[in-house]
Amino acid sequence: MKITLKPGIRYTHTFTVPKSKTVPALYPESEEFLIMPEVFATGYLVGFLEWACIRAINPHLDWPEEQTVGTHIDVSHEAATPPGLTVTAKVELIAVEGKKLTFSVEAHDGVDLISKGRHERFVINRKKFDERVISKGP
């Protein structure tokens, strides 16, 4: 981690929602999801917020040897977003406690605030992380 990894880092990230990021596409194996409305899925929204947080801090890590993994997410999903709209995430790193990073996050679709909350990530050494995962075995 670089000395520049401090609270106050902000980042804005945009993404135009395709049909492939709607609820029916989330788990095509699920009949229940397949018949739901074609709107930005909460699962993809969470990934989008994580993506913004990753982009915010990567310049402040020894990337790619150091990476981050999500460890906690506490966000609302307040409004439906149809495909074609562009969503904008605004994230801010609000706390650094050792390797634990806490972010304030929100997203807007150009019409409504669609999400707000907090997200935590943990800085990892990619090589050591992979070794631990492999040791778990199938």
DSSP codes of every residue in 54-96? HHHHGGGS-TTTEEEEEEEEEE---S---TTPEEEEEEEEEEE
- Is residue 1 in a domain? no
Instruction: Inform me whether the pLDDT recorded for 30 exceeds 90.
Output: yes
- Is residue 3 in a domain? no
Of 13, 77, 108, 119, catalytic? 77
Instruction: Inform me whether the pLDDT recorded for 125 exceeds 90.
Output: yes
Of 50, 66, 106, 120, catalytic? 50
State the pTM of this model. 0.95
pLDDT, mean of residues 43-62: 98
50 assigned to active site: yes
- Is residue 109 in a domain? yes
* Cα separations in angstroms, 25 against 31, 41, 88: 11, 8, 21
42 assigned to active site: yes
- φ and ψ at 108, to 5 degrees? -135, 145
The number of distinct structural domains making up the chain is 1
Domain holding 111, by residue range, is 10-136
77 assigned to active site: yes
- Is residue 5 in a domain? no
Strands of the sheet with 113-125, listed across from one edge: 10-16, 86-97, 100-108, 113-125, 66-75
- Is residue 4 in a domain? no
pLDDT digits 0-9 by tens, 10-25: 999 999 999 999 999 9
User: Which CATH number goes with the domain that contains 124?
Assistant: 3.10.129.10
- Is residue 88 in a domain? yes
- Is residue 59 in a domain? yes
> Residue 137: which pLDDT band, with cuts at 50, 70 and 90?
confident
- Is residue 112 in a domain? yes
> Residue 138: which pLDDT band, with cuts at 50, 70 and 90?
confident
pLDDT digits 0-9 by tens, 85-122: 999 999 999 999 999 999 999 999 999 999 999 999 99
